[in-house]
Amino acid sequence: MPAPAETKTEKRFDEKLLDIYNGAATTLMIAVGHRTKLFDKMAEIGAASSEELAKAATLNERYVREWLNAMTVSGIVNFDVQNQKYSLPPEHAYLLIRKSGKDNLAVFAQYVSVMAGVEDEIIECFHKGGGVPYSSYNRFHEVMAEDSGQSLVPALLETVLPLVDGLVEKLEQGIDVMDIGCGRGLALMRMAKAFPKSRFVGYDLCDDTVAFATQEAKARGLSNLSFEVRDVSALGDAEKFDFITAFDAIHDQAQPQTVLNNISKALKSTGTFLMQDIDASSKVENNLDHPLGPFLYAVSCMHCMTVSLSQNGEGLGTMWGRETAKTYLERAGFKKVEIQKLTHDIQNCIYVATK
């Protein structure tokens, strides 16, 4: 077939595609730079040759040099030809090193590698349906905990909990709190430490993440906190908790409506449910300018939607959106649902729901 005549629009699309491929490849290199701590080391030692950097980071020079060259041509690192030294400009370092806490965007690059690990299984699902279970993912829980550990946990006490009127005072006095889909449990650990008179429990489906959380809570000496392997779609608790949280843990449920119904039942009539979830519209046409749109729909297809489908679930997906979320919460019996947006988090919004 002859190539179509080149129009201005087609040319622009060629360039766009190449940008996309370069961006994807660079994202993998950013994940490598994060995991090897090369960005942190570059920020620490300043301009260095590949030999100097490799020595300081105790890594193999040949690999470090190729990585540096990938970082250089992608405009992340500067290269001084005369001295053969590479440097990470401070304004770039700020967005790529661990010291920057919530502003370290390098953490998110790892999701691309995590998703790429299940590509073969996802392709099979395109042909046969079904889904890829949590157990197929390498490092998902580790990366998720790193993500929420830097974005949610430091903001919890100062900005997230105060969204609920009078909650901090109640936590200080002593109340019962449950976190569903707690993952490695870092948010609960932060709360359990800050509010020793309150009692905290975290439930998660995956035994490896619960084992991690249990061990970590023990190491931190937190006796007001426990974790259990439990499927929250069969919760069974009634009027038991004053405060329930779900951080990024509803949209990938097999049965999200059942889980929200269970949460509503488990909550005392005076209690509050705080749900952090992806901030988007339920309609794709409203997400065209979403700053993370392509990333989040990809995460959905390669993780959140498929883990739900692997359990014969609904497969809501990451981008279920505010409209659907509000409907599900109302159906679960929450009469008042407020949606809050916090400046520390471009990805999520917070639903504060009461019965």
Ligand X SMILES: C[S@@+](CC[C@H](N)C(=O)[O-])C[C@H]1O[C@@H](n2cnc3c(N)ncnc32)[C@H](O)[C@@H]1O
Q: How far is the CB of 39 from ligand X (least distance, A)?
A: 23
Residue 200 binds ligand X (CB under 6 A): no
**Rule CB under 6 A: is residue 178 a binding residue for ligand X?**
no
Task: Tell which positions 273-332 bind ligand X, by CB under 6 A.
Answer: none
Query: Could you give the string, one character per residue 204-233, with x where binding to ligand X holds by CB under 6 A and - elsewhere?
Result: xxx--x---------------------xxx
Q: How far is CA 289 from CA 113, 120, 279, 319, in A?
A: 25, 30, 13, 14
Q: Between residues 66 and 228, which has the closer beta carbon with respect to ligand X?
A: 228
Residues in 115-134 that interact with ligand X by CB under 6 A: 134
Nearer of residues 104 and 209 to ligand X, judged by Cβ: 209
Per-residue binding letters, 237-266, with ligand X (x by CB under 6 A): ----------xxx--xx-------------
Nearer to ligand X, 61 or 231 (CB): 231
For residue 350, the surrounding DSSP H or E stretch is: strand 348-354
Under rule CB under 6 A, residue 150 binds ligand X: no
Element (H, E) at 169: helix 167-173
Which residue, 225 or 232, has its beta carbon nearer to ligand X? 232
SS3 track for 22-52:
HHHHHHHHHHHHHHCCHHHHHHHHCCECHHH
User: How many residues make up the chain in this entry?
Assistant: 355
Question: For tokens 């809501």, what's the residue?
Answer: 316
Question: Given the rule CB under 6 A, which of 29-37, 52-60, 178-186, 214-222 is the region that contacts ligand X?
Answer: 178-186
**Among positions 50, 87, 148, 348, the unique one binding ligand X when judged by CB under 6 A:** 148
Instruction: Fill in the DSSP letter of residue 119.
Output: H
Look up residue 232 and give its two tokens: 């929250």
Q: Which residue has the tokens 């040319």?
A: 11
Min. distance of Cβ 84 from ligand X in angstroms?
42
Near ligand X by CB under 6 A: residue from 93, 106, 182, 325: 182
Provide, rounded to whole angstroms, the least separation between the CB of residue 254 and ligand X: 6
Least Cβ distance, residue 214 to ligand X (angstroms)? 14
| Token pair recorded at residue 22 | 């370069």
Give the nearer residue to ligand X in terms of CB position, either 181 or 317. 181
Contact 181, 204 (CB under 8 A): yes
Of the candidates 318, 273, 317, 313, which has an alpha carbon nearest to the alpha carbon of residue 179?
273
336 forms bridges with which residues in the sheet?
354
Could you give the C-alpha distances from 88 to 62, 70, 94, 331, in angstroms and in order? 19, 13, 10, 51
191 within 8 A of 171, measured Cβ to Cβ: yes
Complex with ligand X: residue 42 or 189, whichever CB lies closer: 189
C-alpha 292/C-alpha 314 separation (Å) is: 23
Q: Which is nearer to ligand X, 86 or 297 (CB)?
A: 297
Residue 212, token pair as written in the block: 């991690």
Nearest to 274 by CA among 197, 170, 173: 170
Candidates 46-54, 175-183, 266-274, 314-322; binding stretch for ligand X (CB under 6 A): 175-183
C-beta of 224 vs 347, nearer to ligand X: 347
The answer to whether 181 contacts ligand X (rule: CB under 6 A) is yes
Among 137, 195, 203, 320, interactor with ligand X by CB under 6 A: 203
Nearer to ligand X, 34 or 303 (CB): 303
- What is the closest distance, in whole angstroms, from the C-beta atom of residue 134 to ligand X in the complex? 5
The CA-based dihedral angle spanning residues 177, 253, 353, 157, taken in that order and rounded to the nearest 10 degrees: 50
Residues that bind ligand X (CB under 6 A): 134, 144-145, 148, 181-183, 203-206, 209, 231-233, 247-249, 252-253
